[in-house]
Amino acid sequence: MRVAILSDIHANREAFDAVLEAVGKQAPDQLVLLGDLVGYGPDPVYVVEKAADLVEGGAFCIKGNHDEAVAASPNGMTENARTAIEWTRERLAAKHFDFLARLPLSLRSEDRLYVHASAERPEKWLYIRDMDAAERCLSASDARFIFCGHTHIPAIYYALPGSRPIHFSPLDNVAAPLSALRRHLIVVGAVGQPRDRNPAACFALLDTSRHEVTMVRVPYDHEETARKVQASGLPTWLGMRLKIGR
């Protein structure tokens, strides 16, 4: 089975379309969206409606913290994030709010758990940035594979049962092996706002028969997205960071 896993689209139409085109060429058996459809970017209506269409067609989609902030309240966010949330709210219709509000915090499929932030209290939006956070996440579920986003930086943590996880930084477009003896926590990077100093969009392609996962990088027209951010009145930094992958 082959599964394409996308996270942190952040209302970036150009990145989303480029990634979906790349995904289409891979023809995976399942498509999973790990949340944060909205926030930061200039095309929330397009992205939410595209995601809703994909879900109608059989894709999985879970809720991210920016999705919750739009549907509920932007507590604990940075000034730029709050500004973008309020801007987004002014452009969405009731059907968009309803779609975001109804998204689940996690989904389980066979031996795979999908969650936006961490399996440890998904509603708290905890970041997995080190081995301690990874260990707590793995301890919170018995799934063999946990897939998440939220940090915008691709990473793999793996561990033998009862041992502390080990961190691995996957190479772009190079398959990373998945051991049958270990459990894995895979942070899939970001479609719409990469933060690993590479402006190309990122998604994960899992191949269960080959026992591997690949972080696929997809160049897109980030200059156009940055132009739209500036024209929309959103904070200029939200467009500038797309150019440098920050």
- Residue 181's domain is classified under what CATH number? 3.60.21.10
Q: Tokens representing 26?
A: 């891979």
Tally the domains of the chain.
1
State how far the Cα of 131 lies from the Cα of 46, in Å rounded to an integer: 37
Q: Which two tokens stand for residue 133?
A: 């956070």
Q: Coil, helix or strand for 216?
A: strand
Please tell me which residue, 160 or 19, carries the higher pLDDT value.
19
Helices (H), the chain: 13-26, 44-56, 65-71, 79-89, 94-102, 131-139, 222-232, 237-244
Distance of CA 131 to the CA centre of its chain: 20
Task: Round the average pLDDT of the chain to a whole number and report it.
Answer: 96
Residues 21-60 have pLDDT tens digits of 999 999 999 999 999 999 999 999 999 999 999 999 999 9
Beta bridge partners, 32, equal: 5, 60
Residue 74: pLDDT band (50, 70, 90) is confident
Global confidence as pTM: 0.96
Q: pLDDT per residue over 170-224, tens digit each?
A: 999 999 999 989 999 999 999 999 999 999 999 999 999 999 999 999 999 999 9
Could you tell me which residues come within 8 angstroms of residue 88 by beta carbon, excluding any fewer than 6 positions away? 11, 38, 39, 44, 70
CA pair distance 6, 10, nearest whole angstrom: 11
* Assigned token pair, 50: 């595209």
CB half-sphere exposure, 84, CA atoms < 13 A: 27
The parent domain of residue 76 ranges over: 2-244
